A and B are shown apart, each in its own frame.
Chain A
Amino acid sequence: MKKTQVYIAFAILALVVSIFTQNILAFKMNVTYELHYSAEISGKGQFIINIPIPPKLSWQETLNVNGTISKGEGEVYYDLVKGYVRINSRNYVKYDAKVYTSITGTYSSKDVLKKLNVTLDEYLAEVRKDLGENYVKLVGPTYWWNYTDPRFEFFLKDFLEDNNITSVKELGKLRISEVVSMIRSYVARKLNYMPISGGRQNVFEALNRSLGDCSEYSDAFAVFSRYIGIPTLRCIGYVANEWNSKLKEYDIIGHAWPIIYVSGVGWIPYEVTVGPGYLKGSPGDVSPKYICLVIDEGAKSMEYLDLEKEVIYDPEEHWVPGSSSAVHIDNLTVTLEITVKPKPQIEIHEEIRANSLSILVMLFPIITTIMLSLAIMVTVGAFREH
């Protein structure tokens, strides 16, 4: 084989590899968090409760749970994929754990962009096939995303007019990335960002008042996208904001953001809240600062929560997992504190050990030298009287 042929073969191979990698390229940054859980549950008699831990999603994975019951008795079981720690106990239990969750911050994933570069009709055909019977459940109206509410008609008409479209059917010919971007822009135009106290608002009331925070932005997005047929849920979790050097933990911000289903990729996040400190990305872009703790299906109030099957959280958002305040569900009182830190990786106290060691090393030859000197002096009779 001649040299030229070898070079050509290498060039072809490099071209093939570059074409292949082009499709999966994305800018990625990885971080592993250590979430400190401190849960205290008291009630009468036997109880089962599911404490939420970050579930497995396309960009995050809980690697390990290292927990113990520090007070009381009970059994503990955990599911890293669905994202819960199940505690089976009686009367009272205190559970402490360290949960290690890996987040892959991903930007401009060619894989995701390629999947979103098809028309809405093509996308819907694919997800319908992929999700089967579950599809209807993931796009249907729910308690919080109720597009059967008569008020929705007004906003739908407004949305279509805003985008110079006469019917929802017309959206089918547009690319899915354009459609979600149109919904995001509409929601951003209709709502002005303002932190809302007092829990989650009804989405139509929020749109009428033109005020909302992440809860309302993500609900408004979800109600439109589900109506159009895009399977949409919502993440409730945290943004690891500034590092607190005194407390040695992150100042975390409770946050909610929509996730949409993409065949072959899974659930991808889409930040729609236009407010300070939030990502302004394309669908699928993930900041390594975002930790999803609970997947919200938008369907329930806390009174309907089945503690033996579902993770504890408050769909009305009066209580957030991780806050120091207690929540009362059925006959249980639950306090669940969560603090977030990066996973410990490098020990610097070896330097301190080395410091003590070096002092010993310095002292050792000095003492040895003195002892030897004394030994010599005794041997040669330096202390002997003449």
Chain B
Amino acid sequence: MNARAKRSLVPFALGLGTLFSAVFLAEILIRAGLVNRFIVPMPSQIAGAFHRVITEEDILHRFVVTARESLWATLMLAVFGIGLGVLLYRVRLLRDATETWVAALASAPTVLMYPLFLVIFGRSERTIIMMGFVAGLPAVILKTIEGLVGTRRVLVNVGRSFKLSELQLFWKIYFPAALPTIFVGMRLGMIFALINIVGVEFLINFGGLGQLINDLAERYDLPGTYAAICFVILVSVLFFFLTDRLEKWLRPAD
């Protein structure tokens, strides 16, 4: 095993070890009666519920539905979020006029707007995707602007000294320089989008994992509820993994 592989294995092992320790601690606290087992089920019960939710609740299909909704929301965030960020960066007047409002939107509980989206898009996946998109949009816009503004002046001057056109300046210098910050925005956007997607699925009792969590909670099947939540985390892990790969492909130096 080479040094690089060793370096990446240690944090992975540490992370996994911490997770197992936390689970083990929770098991002990619940078994000892220090945490109410009627509110928080034992990890061993949750592990036992996995087989049931997979075979009886068709969780893999629901996982695919939530992942698909998240993928659409992410693609829309990439296209419109980054696009709007670039537009606001380029048009200074527009940026000055709207940046505060975009920042304000980031802290607004947009999930509460779901009745309005239900009226517009109906009780469908489109409502869920749009709710996820709206929740993630401010983070992507703001981070895109931040990345572009933060491009070092000297790099732009290098481009200008080589007589780059405005379009070449953007694609060859501004965009790659801003990419790490844009990816931070995309990750934040995806987190907010996924929270809203599962939240709206839960609220309108439609779609993937959020609906299942609602059903299981209604039945007071706590181990099943928590097992389903683990699948939500899995969606998040999957998307983080994919964006990480994409970023490494686009900026292999980082």
Q: Do A and B come from one complex?
A: no
Binding site for A on B (CB under 8 A): none
Contact surface of A with B, Cβ cutoff 8 Å: none
